Structure 1
Amino acid sequence: MQTLKKEQIQMRDPFVLRHEPEGCYYLYGSTDPDIWKSKGIGFDVYRSKDLEHWEGPFPAFRPEANFWSDKNYWAPEVHAYSGKYYMFATFKTDGVCRGTQVLIADHPLGPFVPHSDGPVTPRDWECLDGTLYVDGQGEPWMIFCHEWVQIVNGTICAIRLSPGLDKAIGQPIELFAARDAAWVEPVKNGLGYVTDGPFVHRCADGTLLLLWSSFRGGRYAQAIARSANGEIDGHWEHLPEPIYESDGGHGMIFRTFGGELLLALHTPNKTPLERAVFLPLVEQDGRLKLAE
C-alpha cells in the first residue's frame, strides 16, 4: 500500500475521523476523479498517524450492481455511533432526487453497505450533504441542505432520525436560508443562492456553531452561524464575514490527539485541483477564528 502526502490526493469535502482504538486518523471525501460528469465509482478512505503521511487509498464503499444511484457520489462523513460506523453520503440518478443515504460498517475502513432504504432526506426534495447531530437529550438528527437548484434560495434543514439511524422521523425543519447571511452572493448569473456542507461544532462553553459554505465574489467560502439558544431549533446568527474565502469550503472540525483544533476543507474549488487542507483554529468565548 502506497503512502501519500495529502497534497497528492485529489479530494473534495474532506472529513476526518479520529479513531481512538488505533490512535490514527481516517480521511474520507468525494474521491471520484470527476464528481460532476462521470459515473460514480465509490468512496476511498486514507489512514494516517500524523495527518501528513496517508496510507491508501482503501475502497471504503463500492456499489453493488443493483445500487439505485449511478452518479454524484458526494461528501461522505463517517461517525462512530452505538458501536458501529455510519457513513452519511449523497447520491443521485436520473429521474430521482439527489439525497443523503446512511451506510454502515463495523470498522472505519469499511466496507460500508446501505443501511437506510435509499435517501433519508425527503424523496421529493433535491438535497445533499447530510451530517449527524446528537442533541442535548441524546436524540439523533440529520442536518442537510435543500438545494438551490430546486428552490433558488438554498436552505439548511434538520430532521429527526430513528434511534438506529436508518430512517427519518417526522417532518424537516428549516434552520436558515442562504440569503439570511448578508455576505452571500448568487451563482450562475443570479440564478440562485447556495447552501453547502453543514457541520455542527459544540464549543467548550456550550455555544452551538454550524459551519456551512456558499459563494462570494465567484469564490467558494466557508462560514459560521451561531445558535442563539444553543440548539438547532433556535435563531441562527450569521457572522458578517466568512472565516475563509480563498475559494475553499465544505469544512468540518476535528481535534487532534494532541488537542489541537483543526478546520478541514478543500481548496481550490475546481476539479481536478481540489485538495484537503487543515487549518488551525482558536476557540474563545463561543467563537472560532483561524489561528494567526
Structure 2
Amino acid sequence: MNVYNAASDPANPRPGHKLADIPAHDPFVVADAATGIYYLYTGGSPRLHGMDRYGVLAYKSRDLADWEGPYVVFAIPDGAWAHPLHGAWAPEVHAYNGRYYLFVTLHHNDRPLEGEAHGGYRLQWRGTAIAVADSLEGPFELMDREGPIPPLNHMTLDGTLYIDEAGCPWMVYCHEWVQTADGTIEAVRLKEDLSGRVSEPIHLFSGSEAPWDNGELPAGGSRSMYVTDGCQLYRTSGNKLVMLWSTYEAGSYVQTIARSVTGTLEGPWEQLDPLVGDDSGHGMMFRTFEGAWMLILHSPFRMPESRCKLYEMTDSGDSFVVKS
C-alpha cells in the first residue's frame, strides 16, 4: 500500500517542498558549485513512492529550504544480482575523475548466506554496489551486475568513498551486526576506476568501542548486539581524519563521531562524544556555497515518519561539533 504525499511522488515532481514534507532515510547532499544547486539523495520505494521497483530519488534546492522533486536517478535493473523489490539503502553520490558515482546498498533476500544470524534476523545477500553517470541527475548504471564491492559472503551496508593520502580510492563500509553480532567498520581498496576491489577487508573498529553501553541482548539471546551504520569520513582544518557513524544508546539511534589517532584510514580510531541523540542518525556533512559546514541526518529512525534535519557545524581543528 502506498503512503502518498506530494513530496514523495516521482510521477509528478514539483517545487515548494520543505524538508519536513519529504520522507527520507540516510540522506546525502551534494553541493554543486557549477550550478549553485544542492542535490539531496534518498532511497525510493514502491510503498512510499509508487515506483515499480526500489531505487534512488533526488531533490534539488538553491537555498536548502525549498526543494523540487522527487526525480528518479536510479532503479535496480532486471538481471542484476540484487532483487528490484528488496530495497535500496543509503545512496550517496561522489564526483570522481570527471564522472559521478552512486554508492547504494542493495539486497537479495532470497539468497541466503551460511552461518549464524543474530537478533532474530537471517543472513542474506546485502552489500554496497557502485553505479555511474555523467550527471548528478543520472541515470546511474551499475558497474558490476554480478555482486557488490565487499566480499559476497559478508553481509554489509552503507559503503562510502574515501580517497587516501596517496590518491588511492577506498570503500569504507559497515559489516552488519546481524552477521557479526558486534558490528564493525571495515574498508577495501578499490580499482582506480572504482569498478571493483583490489584488497581484502581491513578492520577499522567495532561497534562495541562506543564510549557508552550501546549493546542490546535480545530475549533468549546469549550475546549482545552492537550496531554500526552510516560511516562518512572528513578532514578537519587541523588535518585530523574523523568519521561520522551511527549506533544506539538506550534503544535510541544516535549520531556519533570517531577520530583516527594517526590521521590515516588504518587508525587506530578513538571514539568521541556523540553529536546528536533523540533517535537521530546516519548523517553526513557538506559545505554550503557560503562555506559553512552542515550536518544532515534523519530522525526519527522509522519510516515513513523519518525526516531530514540540518545542523550547522563548527570545525574545531581537532573534530567537528554541533554549533551552539
Q: 1:106-140: per-residue Cα shift (whole Å, max 9, x none)?
A: 00010011013420011100000000000011000
1:191 shift after superposition: 4.6
How many Å separate the matches in 1 of 2:260 and 2:79?
41
How many Å separate the matches in 2 of 1:40 and 1:229?
43
1:184 shift after superposition: 4.4
Find the residue that maps to 1:150 and give its secondary structure: helix
Q: Is 1:141 equivalent to 2:174 in the alignment?
A: no
Residues 2 and 56 in structure 1, CA contact (< 8 A), matched pair in contact too: yes
Q: Is 1:200 equivalent to 2:213 in the alignment?
A: no
Percent identity of equivalent pairs:
40
Residue equivalent to 2:3: none
Residue equivalent to 2:276: 244
Residue equivalent to 1:122: 151
Q: Is 1:254 equivalent to 2:283 in the alignment?
A: no
How many Å separate the matches in 1 of 2:217 and 2:233?
28
Q: Is 1:268 equivalent to 2:309 in the alignment?
A: no
Q: 1:15-63: per-residue Cα shift (whole Å, max 9, x none)?
A: 001112111110001232669xx98421110111111111111111012
Aligned counterpart for 2:101 among listed residues 75, 83, 86? 86
Aligned counterpart for 1:99 among listed residues 119, 124, 127? 127
Alignment of 1:41-190 (within 5 A): 41-70=54-83, 71-93=86-108, 94-95=110-111, 96-117=124-145, 118-187=147-216, 189=218
1:224 shift after superposition: 0.4
Q: 1:70-102: per-residue Cα shift (whole Å, max 9, x none)?
A: 212100010000000000000011215200000
How many Å separate the matches in 2 of 1:164 and 1:184?
40
Amino acid at match of 2:42: G
What RMSD over aligned residues (CA atoms) do the two structures have, in Å?
1.6
Point out the structure with the larger strand share: 1
Amino acid at match of 1:176: F
Aligned counterpart for 1:2 among listed residues 14, 19, 29? 14
Moved over 3 A (4+): none
Larger Rg: 2
Question: TM-score, normalization: structure 2?
Answer: 0.86
Amino acid at match of 1:167: G
Residues 157 and 172 in structure 1, CA contact (< 8 A), matched pair in contact too: yes
1:282 shift after superposition: 0.8
Q: Is 1:286 equivalent to 2:318 in the alignment?
A: yes
How many Å separate the matches in 1 of 2:179 and 2:75?
28
Residues 182 and 224 in structure 2, CA contact (< 8 A), matched pair in contact too: no
- Structure 2 portions without partners, runs of 5+: 1-12, 112-123
How many Å separate the matches in 1 of 2:93 and 2:43?
13
Residues 101 and 120 in structure 1, CA contact (< 8 A), matched pair in contact too: yes
Q: May I ask how many residue pairs the two structures share in their alignment?
A: 289
Aligned counterpart for 1:18 among listed residues 9, 31, 38? 31
1:68 shift after superposition: 2.6
Residues 54 and 87 in structure 2, CA contact (< 8 A), matched pair in contact too: no
Residues 98 and 127 in structure 1, CA contact (< 8 A), matched pair in contact too: yes
Amino acid at match of 1:141: W
Aligned counterpart for 1:29 among listed residues 42, 65, 76? 42
Residue equivalent to 2:6: none
Q: Structure 1 residues 181, 191: closer, same or farther in 2, change over 3 A?
A: closer
Q: Is 1:224 equivalent to 2:257 in the alignment?
A: yes
How many Å separate the matches in 2 of 1:260 and 1:163?
31
- Structure 1 portions without partners, runs of 5+: none
Amino acid at match of 1:2: R
Question: TM-score, normalization: structure 1?
Answer: 0.95
Residues 33 and 272 in structure 1, CA contact (< 8 A), matched pair in contact too: no
Q: Structure 1 residues 154, 49: closer, same or farther in 2, change over 3 A?
A: same
Amino acid at match of 2:315: E
How many Å separate the matches in 1 of 2:29 and 2:184?
25
